[in-house]
Amino acid sequence: MTLQQLRYLIAIASHGSISAAAHTLYVSQSSLSVAVRDIERETGVTIFERSNRGITLTSDGVELLGYARQVVEQADLMAQRYSGRGDGGNQAQRLAITSQHYAFVVEAFLELAEEYEEDAYNFSLRETRTAEVIEDVRDFRSDLGVLYLSSFNESVIGHALDDANLSFNLLFSAQPHIFVSASHPLAERTEVTLDDLAAWPRYAFEQGNANSFFYAEEPFAELPHGKRIAVSDRGTLSNLLAHHDGYTISTGMLSSEMHTGIASVPLATKELMRVGYIVHNERQLSDLAQRYIEKLSLFVEGYQIGLAGL
């Protein structure tokens, strides 16, 4: 089977019909039908069930489609990675970062992008779920990822990193803090306990299908709590914190959008959040990726100096 046939298969599944896919791809329906028959003959499975209402994927078709998407995505990534080489032109420098939701990751990325003066570059930053941070670095979609470990999650996350042939490199360790509105009754406390938080809604980043206490971005996610709101981005979380009475638990590093109206209060615990970057053991980091790590370290150093001055 060819990449083109796999692309046809993905298009048919996405559009729900051969005719719609043919119209979008500007090819004949017969060409798509032949491609499906060829794949079915080669794999020995029936991909689609056909009826008067159209076509639907069989269980074998669903599995085959998953493999097809992986193959096509990897081929596209390879083409993107090596495009422009050997043609005499300037090759666009590439930097791809995937991270849990940390403001200092974004700020370091923006500073590097603003300082970068080359004529061509291709930068990307994705704030996403824990499982996808690991997957992106494992599959070489990203140069590095940023996540945290604790005594609670390190066994499970560490095993996932080992399976993906990734290594964890510590950036800093932090005592967990709560973020609350500046007008919250707990905002003026010098320290809070987990018992102090029981009455207030807890905000957390949702983790999708890989949801588990071990993949949570917030310490103590495993503890029962009656009020919980899950969000997918820092902007929504910041609005909730600034204007409502809930809390979240993180490193204590306030982002620029959190400096007004949000307070950071230490949590009374011996637990530490060990935040670091993960890299693939078979990949040598580019000079650009190394520069980004240096930026991360500078932001962390600035944060720690600020805490020492309080």
Kindly list the structural domains of the chain, giving each domain's residue range(s) and its CATH number in brackets, ordered by start.
Answer: 3-82 (1.10.10.10), 93-173+274-308 (3.40.190.10), 176-271 (3.40.190.10)
Structure confidence at residue 82 as a pLDDT band (50, 70, 90): low
Residue 266 confidence (pLDDT) above 90: yes
Q: What's the average model confidence in pLDDT over 246-253?
A: 91
- Which residue did the predictor score with more confidence, 195 or 253? 195
Strand ranges for 151-270 from DSSP E? 166-174, 177-181, 202-205, 228-231, 248-250, 262-266
pTM above 0.75, yes or no: no
Angle 103-278-266 (CA atoms, 0-180°, nearest 5)?
A: 45
The CA distance from 291 to 105, in Å, is 13
Structure confidence at residue 309 as a pLDDT band (50, 70, 90): very low
Buried b (16+ CB within 10 A) or exposed e, 169-196: eebbebbbbbbbbeebebbebeebeeeb
Mean pLDDT of all residues in the chain? 88
| Per-residue pLDDT at 90 | 55
For 236, the enclosing helix (H) or strand (E) is helix 234-243
| Per-residue pLDDT at 75 | 83
Angle 171-177-183 (CA atoms, 0-180°, nearest 5)?
A: 140
The CA distance from 35 to 28, in Å, is 11
Residue 142 confidence (pLDDT) above 70: yes
Lowest mean pLDDT among 11-20, 130-139, 154-163, 250-259: 250-259
Count of beta carbons in the 10 Å neighbourhood of residue 148: 27
Winning range, highest mean pLDDT, from 67-81, 82-96, 100-114: 100-114
Structure confidence at residue 310 as a pLDDT band (50, 70, 90): very low
Residues 165-176: pLDDT tens digits? 999 999 999 999
Residues 174-194: pLDDT tens digits? 999 999 999 999 999 999 999
Q: What's the average model confidence in pLDDT over 249-261?
A: 72
Q: What's the average model confidence in pLDDT over 239-245?
A: 91
Structure confidence at residue 36 as a pLDDT band (50, 70, 90): very high
Q: Which of 161, 141, 145 is nearest to 153 (CA)?
A: 161
Residue 248 confidence (pLDDT) above 50: yes
Q: What's the average model confidence in pLDDT over 216-221?
A: 94
Q: What's the average model confidence in pLDDT over 133-143?
A: 93
Residue 114 confidence (pLDDT) above 60: yes
Angle 247-210-174 (CA atoms, 0-180°, nearest 5)?
A: 45
